[in-house]
Amino acid sequence: ESLSDWEGIKACFETSPGIFSKLTGEHSMGDMMQKAYCVLSFLEAHRCARNELPRFFHGDDAEVQQQVASESSAECSQAEEILKALPEDLVMLARTEMFARKLLQEQLHEVDELKERGLLTSADASKLGHHVQSELLTLLHRPKNEWLALKDGAK
């Protein structure tokens, strides 16, 4: 049986608009933004999975590894078609926001590591963590149209 996870996601787009906001609890974005996040997440998950294939398939399993990678790439090609149909600025906003969230999450992790190694006091780690959490909340709750307006104003 071949990979077919994209079919299920695409079916949700077509039959149940808004389903992803129900799953994530994020209701401030429209259907197009949800599609952008979903497709970008799908593509990233498949990229990571393809990078991990060698850990799971060894030596004589090279043919199976190649088949899985090929099927994954085909799934991603289908997903990219949805992305191409979305407004370019919306996709760029989704990419940028996802990247910003990842960077902020990495900062939180770094603060925790520095605290564990004794390079930050608990009080300092708490202050830094609070600041990063505040930025994450700003990123999460600012309406998407405001981000696009900020981008347009910067031109």
* Residue 25 confidence class, pLDDT cut points 50, 70, 90: low
Position 9, amino acid: I
What does the alpha-carbon distance between residue 77 and residue 43 come to, in Å, rounded to a whole number?
9
pLDDT of 150 reads: 64
The mean pLDDT value for 136-143 works out to: 80
DSSP label at residue 30: -
Check: CB of residue 21 under 8 Å from CB of residue 34.
yes
Q: How confident is the model at residue 3 (pLDDT cuts 50, 70, 90)?
A: confident
- What pLDDT, on a 0 to 100 scale, did the predictor assign at position 29? 63
Per-residue pLDDT, averaged over 85-109, amounts to 91
DSSP assignment of 99-113: HHHHHHHHHHHHHHH
> Six-digit token pair at 101?
């969230």
Q: What is the mean pLDDT of residues 76-95?
A: 91
How many CB atoms within 10 Å of residue 120?
19
Angstrom distance (rounded) from CA 39 to CA 83:
7
pLDDT of residue 66: 86
- Model confidence over 26-43: pLDDT tens digits? 555 677 888 888 899 999
More confident residue, 77 or 150: 77
Q: What is the pLDDT of residues 123-133, one digit of tens each?
A: 999 999 999 99
pTM: 0.75
